[in-house]
Structure 1
Amino acid sequence: MMSQWDESFDLVIVGSGGGSMCAALKAKELGKRALIVEKLDKVGGSTGYSGGVWWVPNNPVMKRHGVDDSYEKAQQYLQSTVTYEGPSTNPQRREAFLRTGPLMVDFLERAGMAFEYADGWADYYDDRPGGQPRGRSLVAKLFNVRELGEWAGRLSRYQGPAIPANSNEFPTLFLMKRTWAGKLKAMQLGIRMLRQKLSGKEILGGGAAIQGRMLQIALREKLPIWTSTPVEELVVEDGRVSGVVVRHNGRQVRVQALDGVLINTGGFSRNAEMRKRYQPQPSSAQWTNANPGDTGEVIQAAMALGAAVDCMDEAWWVVTSLGPNETLPEGARTAKGEPLPFMHHLDLSLPYSIMVDQDGQRFCDEAGSYMEIGQRMYRRQAETGKAVPSWVVMDSRQRKYYPWGTAMPGQVPKQWLESGYMIKADSLEQLASMCGIDRAGLLDTVERFNGFCTSGVDQDFGRGSRAFDRCHGDPTVSPNPNLGSIEEGPFYAVRMYPGDVGTAGGLVTDEYARVLREDGSCIPGLYATGNATAGVTGRCYPGAGTSIAASFIFGYIAAQHSAGHHKIW
């Protein structure tokens, strides 16, 4: 029996994150009608909450800056970094990602996206074959969200302080007490904030700049976007996904998808049951900074149709710090009082601190890829049971020179000390005792680490050996900008947990973004992209903005393939 439909479109896109508006725009260019349905009242998904970066090798923006890159170099880099061999990381998927990325950037530029090259934001493993020390990452130019008019309040965005700066500016800003470049960046930010106040504009960078600009383009192109519209069912007819049942304006609406349904709903970071089932333990939805809509039900609906999944134990890990009994410290809440855990992917790179487990042992390059830091924390936890929580141990100069959480350089909030979130001691022996860290282990580790600070070479984990590490370090510290000794008291310590900004596993898709079954066959009419899928880079994060770029790229591909265009690059 054929369904009765209330509405009909060519492509129905579930979720409004990274790739959704890109896919809808491409569909329109191809003469197709696309509908975006979003269960929340905000448009932009996880990308709106993010740091707002695309990692697109061989893109035209970096080439205009004189950076030499090619498909072959990027392919070599992925071969040297993406060691996981799974269905999502096969050669065909990698080729689709690398070939289509530059085409997608060119398409969005023509549509009105204002890209900037994040020059100097190195690939995370730039020392590997094909690595690019100047980086392959792009950001969107700062955006005045007031330009969205009545839609301004409906943009998905990070709920922390609204700062008119892009992610690639923060490493310099963190050095406001240390370098002239840092002082200049702080002055520029101050001028921007003053202009904003005087002009009535609300200038934002990061994910809000990406999705604000994408929403502006989508509205200009009159693309239909239904907010507060959760999907209740994926409709299957004659073995093909032919539409969705949604709850829209308080009633059930059956929407036909003539060419296909594209899932771009994010992952399952906020689904406690799925975290318990699939993720490494211990795990908690309270540690995440993922989009509030990251609840996994559409992934489960696709799995019920026979969709294969992979890498369900992975996430885009970004460690967070919590107080006793996993309580949030002062400053780790939104203006409305909702949880907003600190993320420590920049401050861990700076000198005068180390991260150790409860045995007092280091287990990672603290300045390296944040995804790898989380993986190493869980690996150590599996080996010893003593890494969740771990501890960041700081010399007094860390607190004197650099930010931490919401505290500016030189600040140690009284509430942090009183609540036990940050522990302070006059000696390392006393600090170890107060934290329950093995005393001999910590003292031995610090002695060894301080020797590395003198020589400039971290013989254990290579901290400061890559351009990526160094671009987040303090150039006034030598011989290694990421290494500063732990020897001047008072000393401080904070508990660290494996937080995340979204899960990194999900539906298995092919090079055309088609959802696959366990036997490798396609589920006709069903496509997926973004954090709802197992990522094209598997268990590796090769550069800033990899996940957002993949969401855009495979959304762009899905729009073309569903429209019948099978030669995409």
Structure 2
Amino acid sequence: MVDFDREVDVLVVGTGAAGFATALGAVDDGLSVLMVESTGRWGGNSAKSGGGMWLPDNPLMRADRVGDSREEALAYLAATVGTEGRAAGRERQEAFVDGVADFVDTARRHGMTFVRAPEYADYYPERPGGKVGRGVEHTPFDVRRIGAWWKTSQAPAALPILTDDVWLLGRAWSTPSGFRRGARLVLRALAGLLTGKKLAGIGAGLTASFLRTVVIDNNTELWLNSPLEELVVQDGRVVGARIAHDGRTCAI
């Protein structure tokens, strides 16, 4: 038997969007959670990414009456991902599609604010089930709301940019639509400054809002510089993990 140093209901290894989403689901169910991050900065690649989430047949699409369905989403996954291996099995794909609405509703209930990226297409929209407008992202988030945590984010900067801004900004001086998009971005940034906010969009904003929701609002502990060393297995089941933390190995 292992002499554990700490016991929690859910141990989340990694602080990207997937890790935070897992932690949010757990705390929403009233479970105790510990998050660990191997580096000294949280947010992972998600904090440096475009921050878009592919969420087919999501509640925002339904509200806007944008046509989509479970069947089309699964058809698209079958045509692009396939079902080779456990990670891409049909049951896992169904679980993902069927969990979209619950994730969006849970996050919004905890104060996260999402918008659609209506012009963002699936990577292969021409394949069966492909669509334009399934992308969901967080609205620009005031990183001042997370205090000193912002200093240890993986995000490179705070800029109130949205997904659909990116491709149009390249045309800011060549097309009317690009110029309008650029002007909207400038006005958004100025509005934030005038109201004392430091707004971050795309992946920076998404992960910062996750941290505010999970760590600050729900009192979830997050350890930085705490890599996973090994899983603890008993009777063929993973029952914990050994985490390097504060100069020692902790069995969780």
Structure-2-length-normalised TM-score: 0.92
Rounded Cα–Cα distance in structure 1 between residues aligned with 2:30 and 2:158: 38
Whole-Å separation in 2 of the counterparts to 1:231 and 1:128: 39
1:234 corresponds in structure 2 to: 231
Other-structure match for 2:145:
147
Secondary structure of 1:8's partner?
coil
Aligned partners of 1:57 and 1:102 also within 8 Å: no
- Match for residue 11 of structure 2? 12
Cα deviation for residue 163 of structure 1 reads 2.7
Distance in 1 between the 2:65 and 2:36 partners?
40
> Any residues of structure 2 matched to 1:289-304 within 5 Å, and which?
none
Structure 1: give runs of 5+ residues left out of the alignment: 256-569
For 2:9, what is the secondary structure of its paired residue? strand
- 2:33 maps to 1:34: yes
Count of equivalent residues: 251
| Equivalent position of 2:202 in the other structure | 206
Identity among equivalent pairs (%): 36
Name the aligned partner's letter for residue 113 of structure 1: M
In 2, Cα distance between the equivalents of 1:84 and 1:124?
18
Q: Structure 1 CA distance, aligned partners of 2:110 and 2:194?
A: 31
Matched position secondary structure for 2:211: helix
Match of 2:162 among 137, 162, 166: 166
Q: Which residue of 2 aligns with 1:217?
A: 213
Partner of 1:266: none
Question: SS of the counterpart of 2:7?
Answer: strand
Q: 1:88 to 1:222 in 2, by over 3 A?
A: same
Aligned-pair Cα RMSD in Å: 1.8
| Residue 49 (structure 2) aligns with | 50
Q: Distance in 2 between matches of 1:234 and 1:174?
A: 47
CA separation of 1:81 and 1:4: change in aligned 2, threshold 3 A: closer
Q: Which runs of 5+ in 2 are unaligned?
A: none
Q: Distance in 2 between matches of 1:83 and 1:20?
A: 24
Partner SS, residue 252 of structure 1: strand
Question: Contact between 2:83 and 2:89, CA under 8 Å: does it hold in 1?
Answer: no
Partner of 1:276: none
Counterpart AA for 2:145: E
Distance in 2, matches of 1:193 and 1:11, equals 38
* SS across alignment from 2:239: strand
SS in structure 2 at match of 1:7: coil
1:376-423 Cα offsets, whole Å, 9 max, x none, are: xxxxxxxxxxxxxxxxxxxxxxxxxxxxxxxxxxxxxxxxxxxxxxxx
Work out the CA distance in 1 between the residues paired with 2:234 and 2:121.
48
CA distance in 1, matches of 2:152, 2:206: 14
Greater per-residue helix proportion: 2
What SS does the corresponding residue of 1:9 show, helix, strand or coil?
coil
Task: Give the TM-score normalised by the residue count of structure 1.
Answer: 0.42
| 1:59-110 Cα distance to aligned partner (Å, 9 max, x none) | 0011111201110121222233334633322221221121112222222121
Match of 1:246, as an amino acid?
I
Give the superposition deviation at 1:28: 2.3
Is 1:249 the counterpart of 2:208? The answer is: no
The correspondence of residues 382-401 of structure 1 with structure 2, limited to 5 A, is none
